[in-house]
Homo-oligomer: A and B are copies of this chain.
Protein backbone atom coordinates (compact mmCIF):
# COMPACT_ATOMS: atom_id res chain seq x y z
CA UNK A 1 0.00 0.00 0.00
CA UNK A 2 0.90 3.60 -0.21
CA UNK A 3 1.09 5.77 2.88
CA UNK A 4 3.23 3.25 4.72
CA UNK A 5 5.38 2.57 1.72
CA UNK A 6 6.09 6.22 1.21
CA UNK A 7 6.11 7.24 4.84
CA UNK A 8 9.39 5.63 5.90
CA UNK A 9 11.18 7.25 3.05
CA UNK A 10 11.59 10.59 4.75
CA UNK A 11 13.32 8.84 7.64
CA UNK A 12 15.64 7.09 5.26
CA UNK A 13 16.26 9.98 2.94
CA UNK A 14 16.30 12.94 5.28
CA UNK A 15 17.01 11.69 8.79
CA UNK A 16 20.63 11.02 9.68
CA UNK A 17 22.12 7.56 9.84
CA UNK A 18 22.62 8.16 13.56
CA UNK A 19 19.04 7.07 14.24
CA UNK A 20 18.94 3.76 16.05
CA UNK A 21 15.83 2.52 17.87
CA UNK A 22 13.72 3.00 14.76
CA UNK A 23 15.83 0.34 13.05
CA UNK A 24 14.82 -2.31 15.58
CA UNK A 25 11.18 -1.26 15.54
CA UNK A 26 10.48 -0.50 11.88
CA UNK A 27 7.04 0.99 12.22
CA UNK A 28 5.71 4.50 12.57
CA UNK A 29 4.20 5.11 15.98
CA UNK A 30 1.25 7.42 16.32
CA UNK A 31 -0.31 7.17 19.74
CA UNK A 32 0.51 6.06 23.22
CA UNK A 33 -1.46 5.38 26.38
CA UNK A 34 -0.27 3.90 29.62
CA UNK A 35 1.89 0.87 28.91
CA UNK A 36 1.17 0.79 25.22
CA UNK A 37 2.28 2.42 22.01
CA UNK A 38 0.22 2.24 18.82
CA UNK A 39 1.57 2.42 15.30
CA UNK A 40 -0.13 4.31 12.51
CA UNK A 41 -2.10 1.21 11.55
CA UNK A 42 -3.44 0.89 15.03
CA UNK A 43 -1.35 -2.07 16.05
CA UNK A 44 -0.55 -2.00 19.74
CA UNK A 45 2.78 -2.67 21.42
CA UNK A 46 3.34 -3.31 25.07
CA UNK A 47 6.20 -1.00 26.06
CA UNK A 48 8.80 -2.55 28.34
CA UNK A 49 11.32 0.13 27.44
CA UNK A 50 9.35 3.13 28.70
CA UNK A 51 11.37 5.80 26.98
CA UNK A 52 14.59 4.32 28.33
CA UNK A 53 13.23 4.98 31.80
CA UNK A 54 11.61 8.34 31.05
CA UNK A 55 8.06 7.08 31.32
CA UNK A 56 7.87 5.55 34.77
CA UNK A 57 4.23 6.63 35.02
CA UNK A 58 3.34 5.38 31.55
CA UNK A 59 2.55 7.20 28.33
CA UNK A 60 0.29 10.19 28.53
CA UNK A 61 -0.65 9.48 32.10
CA UNK A 62 -4.17 10.90 32.43
CA UNK A 63 -3.62 12.75 35.71
CA UNK A 64 -0.52 14.47 34.40
CA UNK A 65 -2.19 15.05 31.04
CA UNK A 66 -5.05 16.87 32.71
CA UNK A 67 -2.64 19.17 34.54
CA UNK A 68 -0.64 19.80 31.39
CA UNK A 69 -3.65 20.55 29.20
CA UNK A 70 -5.07 22.92 31.78
CA UNK A 71 -1.75 24.71 32.09
CA UNK A 72 -1.29 25.08 28.36
CA UNK A 73 -4.89 26.01 27.75
CA UNK A 74 -4.61 28.71 30.42
CA UNK A 75 -1.55 30.23 28.77
CA UNK A 76 0.73 29.40 31.64
CA UNK A 77 4.32 30.39 30.96
CA UNK A 78 5.78 27.79 28.59
CA UNK A 79 9.36 28.87 28.21
CA UNK A 80 10.74 30.44 31.34
CA UNK A 81 14.56 30.44 31.16
CA UNK A 82 15.35 30.68 34.84
CA UNK A 83 12.74 33.23 35.67
CA UNK A 84 10.63 32.63 38.74
CA UNK A 85 7.24 31.28 37.72
CA UNK A 86 4.31 29.95 39.59
CA UNK A 87 4.86 26.58 37.92
CA UNK A 88 8.43 26.47 39.11
CA UNK A 89 7.42 27.55 42.58
CA UNK A 90 4.82 24.80 42.74
CA UNK A 91 7.37 22.30 41.66
CA UNK A 92 10.02 23.46 44.12
CA UNK A 93 7.57 23.51 47.01
CA UNK A 94 6.25 20.10 46.13
CA UNK A 95 9.69 18.65 45.58
CA UNK A 96 10.77 20.00 48.92
CA UNK A 97 7.78 18.75 50.87
CA UNK A 98 7.26 15.44 49.08
CA UNK A 99 10.82 14.41 48.28
CA UNK A 100 13.45 16.30 50.25
CA UNK A 101 11.94 16.89 53.67
CA UNK A 102 10.59 13.39 54.34
CA UNK A 103 14.04 12.00 53.54
CA UNK A 104 15.85 14.73 55.49
CA UNK A 105 17.82 15.55 52.36
CA UNK A 106 19.24 19.06 52.62
CA UNK A 107 19.72 19.58 48.88
CA UNK A 108 19.66 22.77 46.90
CA UNK A 109 18.00 22.31 43.50
CA UNK A 110 19.58 23.44 40.25
CA UNK A 111 17.86 23.42 36.89
CA UNK A 112 20.54 22.73 34.31
CA UNK A 113 19.58 22.19 30.69
CA UNK A 114 16.67 19.71 30.47
CA UNK A 115 18.68 16.56 29.73
CA UNK A 116 20.54 13.95 31.69
CA UNK A 117 23.87 14.75 30.12
CA UNK A 118 23.45 18.37 31.07
CA UNK A 119 22.72 17.46 34.68
CA UNK A 120 25.88 15.35 34.70
CA UNK A 121 27.94 18.13 33.10
CA UNK A 122 26.71 20.51 35.79
CA UNK A 123 27.50 17.99 38.54
CA UNK A 124 31.05 17.43 37.27
CA UNK A 125 31.66 21.15 36.81
CA UNK A 126 30.49 21.89 40.31
CA UNK A 127 32.58 19.13 41.85
CA UNK A 128 35.70 20.34 40.05
CA UNK A 129 35.01 23.98 40.84
CA UNK A 130 34.38 23.41 44.52
CA UNK A 131 37.36 21.12 45.08
CA UNK A 132 39.79 22.77 42.68
CA UNK A 133 40.71 19.31 41.38
CA UNK A 134 40.35 17.88 37.90
CA UNK A 135 40.19 14.12 38.16
CA UNK A 136 36.86 12.36 38.46
CA UNK A 137 36.51 8.65 39.09
CA UNK A 138 33.85 6.72 37.20
CA UNK A 139 33.21 3.03 36.81
CA UNK A 140 33.54 0.34 34.21
CA UNK A 141 30.49 0.20 31.96
CA UNK A 142 29.19 3.51 33.27
CA UNK A 143 26.94 5.60 31.06
CA UNK A 144 26.64 9.28 31.88
CA UNK A 145 25.88 10.98 28.58
CA UNK A 146 27.20 12.09 25.24
CA UNK A 147 28.47 15.66 25.56
CA UNK A 148 32.22 15.76 26.07
CA UNK A 149 32.19 16.20 29.84
CA UNK A 150 29.87 13.31 30.56
CA UNK A 151 31.14 11.16 27.69
CA UNK A 152 34.57 11.20 29.34
CA UNK A 153 32.99 9.42 32.30
CA UNK A 154 31.19 6.93 30.07
CA UNK A 155 32.72 3.53 29.39
CA UNK A 156 31.36 2.44 26.02
CA UNK A 157 34.17 2.36 23.46
CA UNK A 158 31.99 3.00 20.41
CA UNK A 159 30.40 6.04 21.99
CA UNK A 160 33.75 7.32 23.22
CA UNK A 161 35.21 6.96 19.74
CA UNK A 162 32.64 9.45 18.48
CA UNK A 163 34.26 12.25 20.46
CA UNK A 164 37.07 12.78 17.99
CA UNK A 165 39.25 14.13 20.79
CA UNK A 166 40.78 12.47 23.84
CA UNK A 167 38.53 12.30 26.89
CA UNK A 168 40.81 13.02 29.82
CA UNK A 169 40.46 13.75 33.54
CA UNK A 170 38.55 10.57 34.35
CA UNK A 171 39.97 7.48 36.02
CA UNK A 172 38.14 4.20 35.87
CA UNK A 173 37.46 1.85 38.79
CA UNK A 174 35.83 -1.58 38.81
CA UNK A 175 32.09 -1.53 39.42
CA UNK A 176 30.64 -3.93 41.91
CA UNK A 177 30.96 -7.58 40.78
CA UNK A 178 33.29 -6.51 37.94
CA UNK A 179 36.08 -8.79 39.05
CA UNK A 180 33.74 -11.50 40.33
CA UNK A 181 34.83 -11.01 43.89
CA UNK A 182 38.42 -11.91 43.08
CA UNK A 183 39.59 -8.64 44.62
CA UNK A 184 38.25 -7.18 47.88
CA UNK A 185 35.97 -4.18 47.30
CA UNK A 186 37.87 -0.91 46.85
CA UNK A 187 41.24 -2.50 47.58
CA UNK A 188 42.76 -1.02 44.42
CA UNK A 189 40.96 2.31 44.74
CA UNK A 190 41.94 2.82 48.35
CA UNK A 191 45.53 1.77 47.72
CA UNK A 192 45.81 4.37 44.97
CA UNK A 193 44.32 7.05 47.17
CA UNK A 194 46.56 6.28 50.11
CA UNK A 195 49.79 6.08 48.16
CA UNK A 196 51.40 9.40 47.11
CA UNK A 197 53.35 7.50 44.48
CA UNK A 198 50.38 5.83 42.87
CA UNK A 199 49.98 8.33 40.05
CA UNK A 200 46.30 8.92 40.82
CA UNK A 201 45.83 12.66 41.09
CA UNK A 202 43.51 13.33 43.98
CA UNK A 203 39.96 13.10 42.62
CA UNK A 204 37.37 15.82 42.86
CA UNK A 205 34.58 13.28 42.88
CA UNK A 206 33.33 9.80 42.21
CA UNK A 207 30.33 9.44 39.92
CA UNK A 208 28.28 6.26 40.12
CA UNK A 209 25.02 4.71 39.03
CA UNK A 210 23.46 2.44 41.65
CA UNK A 211 22.29 0.20 38.82
CA UNK A 212 24.03 0.53 35.48
CA UNK A 213 21.30 0.61 32.89
CA UNK A 214 23.16 1.04 29.63
CA UNK A 215 26.06 -0.93 31.05
CA UNK A 216 24.00 -4.10 31.22
CA UNK A 217 21.75 -3.82 34.29
CA UNK A 218 24.61 -4.23 36.69
CA UNK A 219 23.29 -3.91 40.22
CA UNK A 220 25.56 -2.61 42.94
CA UNK A 221 24.99 -4.11 46.37
CA UNK A 222 23.86 -1.70 49.07
CA UNK A 223 26.92 -2.73 51.02
CA UNK A 224 29.18 -1.80 48.12
CA UNK A 225 27.51 1.59 47.81
CA UNK A 226 27.99 2.18 51.51
CA UNK A 227 31.62 1.23 51.15
CA UNK A 228 31.96 3.71 48.35
CA UNK A 229 30.28 6.49 50.30
CA UNK A 230 32.56 5.77 53.20
CA UNK A 231 35.64 5.82 50.97
CA UNK A 232 34.58 9.19 49.57
CA UNK A 233 34.13 10.61 53.04
CA UNK A 234 37.45 9.32 54.29
CA UNK A 235 39.34 10.61 51.28
CA UNK A 236 37.47 13.89 50.90
CA UNK A 237 35.99 13.14 47.48
CA UNK A 238 32.50 14.21 46.52
CA UNK A 239 30.07 11.40 45.80
CA UNK A 240 27.86 12.00 42.77
CA UNK A 241 25.00 9.63 42.11
CA UNK A 242 23.77 9.70 38.53
CA UNK A 243 20.14 8.79 39.17
CA UNK A 244 19.00 9.84 35.72
CA UNK A 245 17.70 6.40 34.78
CA UNK A 246 17.33 4.74 38.16
CA UNK A 247 15.73 7.61 40.06
CA UNK A 248 12.04 8.57 40.31
CA UNK A 249 10.99 5.21 41.68
CA UNK A 250 12.51 2.85 39.14
CA UNK A 251 14.09 0.75 41.89
CA UNK A 252 11.26 1.25 44.37
CA UNK A 253 12.28 4.24 46.43
CA UNK A 254 12.20 7.68 44.86
CA UNK A 255 15.99 7.76 44.80
CA UNK A 256 17.76 4.55 43.98
CA UNK A 257 20.37 5.17 46.68
CA UNK A 258 17.89 5.25 49.55
CA UNK A 259 18.02 1.51 49.99
CA UNK A 260 21.72 1.76 50.82
CA UNK A 261 21.10 4.51 53.35
CA UNK A 262 23.68 6.83 51.81
CA UNK A 263 23.44 10.55 51.11
CA UNK A 264 25.36 11.56 48.00
CA UNK A 265 26.87 15.02 47.83
CA UNK A 266 25.43 15.61 44.37
CA UNK A 267 22.58 13.89 42.52
CA UNK A 268 21.70 14.13 38.85
CA UNK A 269 18.04 13.52 37.95
CA UNK A 270 16.29 13.61 34.61
CA UNK A 271 14.27 11.17 32.44
CA UNK A 272 11.18 10.45 34.59
CA UNK A 273 11.35 13.58 36.72
CA UNK A 274 8.78 15.39 34.53
CA UNK A 275 6.75 12.19 34.55
CA UNK A 276 5.35 12.81 31.10
CA UNK A 277 8.39 12.33 28.94
CA UNK A 278 9.00 16.07 28.71
CA UNK A 279 12.64 17.22 28.83
CA UNK A 280 13.61 18.22 32.34
CA UNK A 281 16.62 17.69 34.57
CA UNK A 282 17.73 18.54 38.07
CA UNK A 283 21.02 18.71 39.80
CA UNK A 284 20.79 18.39 43.59
CA UNK A 285 23.60 19.12 46.00
CA UNK A 286 24.45 19.89 49.57
CA UNK A 287 23.95 23.60 50.33
CA UNK A 288 27.62 24.14 51.12
CA UNK A 289 28.47 23.12 47.57
CA UNK A 290 26.21 25.78 46.10
CA UNK A 291 29.12 27.96 45.09
CA UNK A 292 27.92 28.80 41.60
CA UNK A 293 28.10 32.34 40.33
CA UNK A 294 24.75 33.46 38.88
CA UNK A 295 24.52 32.08 35.34
CA UNK A 296 27.86 30.26 35.59
CA UNK A 297 26.11 27.24 34.13
CA UNK A 298 22.99 27.95 32.13
CA UNK A 299 20.88 26.73 29.23
CA UNK A 300 17.95 27.98 27.20
CA UNK A 301 15.49 25.28 28.18
CA UNK A 302 16.29 25.00 31.87
CA UNK A 303 12.91 26.50 32.63
CA UNK A 304 10.66 24.07 30.75
CA UNK A 305 7.51 25.00 32.67
CA UNK A 306 5.13 22.44 31.16
CA UNK A 307 7.55 19.84 32.52
CA UNK A 308 7.41 21.48 35.96
CA UNK A 309 3.64 21.16 35.85
CA UNK A 310 3.64 17.45 35.05
CA UNK A 311 6.50 16.87 37.49
CA UNK A 312 4.49 18.47 40.26
CA UNK A 313 1.45 16.42 39.37
CA UNK A 314 3.54 13.24 39.34
CA UNK A 315 4.99 13.94 42.78
CA UNK A 316 1.55 14.79 44.12
CA UNK A 317 0.03 11.66 42.67
CA UNK A 318 2.68 9.04 43.30
CA UNK A 319 4.98 10.15 46.08
CA UNK A 320 2.84 11.50 48.89
CA UNK A 321 2.64 7.95 50.23
CA UNK A 322 4.40 4.62 49.76
CA UNK A 323 1.86 2.94 47.52
CA UNK A 324 3.86 3.09 44.31
CA UNK A 325 7.10 2.28 46.06
CA UNK A 326 5.66 -0.76 47.77
CA UNK A 327 4.00 -1.99 44.62
CA UNK A 328 7.26 -1.68 42.71
CA UNK A 329 9.10 -3.66 45.33
CA UNK A 330 6.41 -6.28 45.33
CA UNK A 331 6.62 -6.56 41.58
CA UNK A 332 10.35 -6.97 41.74
CA UNK A 333 9.69 -10.34 43.33
CA UNK A 334 7.20 -11.23 40.60
CA UNK A 335 9.68 -10.38 37.83
CA UNK A 336 12.48 -12.15 39.61
CA UNK A 337 10.37 -15.27 39.87
CA UNK A 338 9.40 -15.17 36.23
CA UNK A 339 12.98 -14.68 35.10
CA UNK A 340 14.10 -17.45 37.39
CA UNK A 341 11.60 -19.79 35.81
CA UNK A 342 12.63 -18.67 32.37
CA UNK A 343 16.28 -19.25 33.08
CA UNK A 344 15.57 -22.63 34.58
CA UNK A 345 13.78 -23.58 31.44
CA UNK A 346 16.06 -21.93 28.89
CA UNK A 347 19.49 -22.06 30.35
CA UNK A 348 20.92 -22.75 26.96
CA UNK A 349 20.76 -19.21 25.63
CA UNK A 350 19.99 -16.99 28.60
CA UNK A 351 22.82 -17.19 31.06
CA UNK A 352 21.81 -15.05 34.04
CA UNK A 353 19.52 -12.30 35.19
CA UNK A 354 19.60 -9.54 37.78
CA UNK A 355 17.70 -6.44 38.76
CA UNK A 356 16.04 -4.32 41.41
CA UNK A 357 12.59 -2.78 41.56
CA UNK A 358 11.35 -2.70 38.01
CA UNK A 359 14.64 -2.71 36.17
CA UNK A 360 15.85 -6.15 35.15
CA UNK A 361 18.32 -7.60 32.77
CA UNK A 362 18.36 -11.01 31.19
CA UNK A 363 21.82 -11.81 29.95
CA UNK A 364 22.43 -13.94 26.90
CA UNK A 365 25.59 -15.58 25.69
CA UNK A 366 26.07 -12.92 23.09
CA UNK A 367 24.51 -9.89 21.49
CA UNK A 368 23.13 -11.86 18.57
CA UNK A 369 20.90 -13.98 20.77
CA UNK A 370 19.73 -10.97 22.74
CA UNK A 371 18.87 -9.16 19.50
CA UNK A 372 16.98 -12.18 18.22
CA UNK A 373 14.89 -12.28 21.38
CA UNK A 374 14.05 -8.57 21.07
CA UNK A 375 13.17 -9.02 17.42
CA UNK A 376 10.84 -11.89 18.19
CA UNK A 377 9.31 -9.96 21.08
CA UNK A 378 8.62 -7.06 18.74
CA UNK A 379 6.82 -9.40 16.36
CA UNK A 380 4.79 -10.58 19.30
CA UNK A 381 3.95 -7.00 20.27
CA UNK A 382 6.46 -6.25 23.01
CA UNK A 383 9.08 -3.50 22.92
CA UNK A 384 12.37 -4.55 24.49
CA UNK A 385 15.89 -3.22 24.13
CA UNK A 386 19.35 -4.58 24.81
CA UNK A 387 22.21 -3.09 26.78
CA UNK A 388 25.63 -4.12 28.03
CA UNK A 389 29.07 -3.93 26.47
CA UNK A 390 28.12 -6.51 23.84
CA UNK A 391 24.40 -5.62 23.74
CA UNK A 392 24.00 -9.02 25.27
CA UNK A 393 21.52 -8.09 28.00
CA UNK A 394 17.79 -7.79 27.36
CA UNK A 395 16.56 -4.94 29.48
CA UNK A 396 13.16 -4.81 31.18
CA UNK A 397 11.96 -1.32 32.07
CA UNK A 398 8.16 -1.52 32.18
CA UNK A 399 6.24 1.53 33.37
CA UNK A 400 5.88 1.41 37.14
CA UNK A 401 2.17 1.93 36.50
CA UNK A 402 1.80 -1.18 34.37
CA UNK A 403 -1.04 -3.37 35.58
CA UNK A 404 -0.41 -6.85 36.86
CA UNK A 405 -1.89 -8.21 33.67
CA UNK A 406 0.43 -6.10 31.55
CA UNK A 407 3.40 -7.21 33.53
CA UNK A 408 2.41 -10.83 33.13
CA UNK A 409 1.69 -10.33 29.47
CA UNK A 410 5.12 -8.83 28.88
CA UNK A 411 6.90 -11.52 30.83
CA UNK A 412 4.94 -14.10 28.91
CA UNK A 413 5.93 -12.66 25.55
CA UNK A 414 9.53 -12.49 26.72
CA UNK A 415 9.43 -16.16 27.70
CA UNK A 416 7.97 -17.11 24.36
CA UNK A 417 10.53 -15.03 22.53
CA UNK A 418 13.33 -16.74 24.35
CA UNK A 419 11.83 -20.11 23.59
CA UNK A 420 11.38 -19.30 19.90
CA UNK A 421 14.93 -18.15 19.46
CA UNK A 422 16.80 -20.54 21.68
Contact = CB atoms under 8 A, between A and B. Distances in A.
B75 A197 contact: no
Nearest to A198: B140
A102 B241 CA distance: 48
B277 A28 contact: no
23 contacts: A14-B100, A16-B109, A16-B283, A18-B110, A19-B294, A31-B75, A31-B76, A32-B76, A37-B77, A54-B300, A79-B276, A116-B299, A116-B300, A125-B164, A141-B198, A147-B150, A148-B152, A154-B199, A155-B199, A158-B293, A166-B168, A196-B389, A198-B389
A304 B279 contact: yes
Given A125-B164, A182-B187, A188-B188, A54 B79 contact: yes
B278 A18 contact: no
A323 interface: no
A365 interface: no
Given A18-B110, A129-B162, A199-B155, A84 B28 contact: yes
Contacts of A354: none
B197 A156 contact: yes
Interface string A120-135: 0100110111001010
Interface string A378-390: 0000000000111
B298 A20 contact: yes
Nearest to A388: B197
In the complex, which range does the number of interface residues on chain A fall in?
35 or more
A318 interface: no
Given A78-B276, A147-B147, A183-B187, 18 more contacts: A14-B100, A19-B82, A20-B294, A23-B294, A31-B77, A78-B277, A116-B300, A124-B164, A138-B199, A140-B198, A146-B299, A147-B148, A155-B198, A158-B296, A159-B297, A160-B199, A162-B297, A182-B183
A109 B52 CA distance: 23
9 tightest A-B CB contacts, nearest first: A128-B164, A79-B277, A197-B389, A168-B168, A147-B147, A155-B199, A20-B295, A148-B149, A18-B292
A264 to B, nearest CB: 16
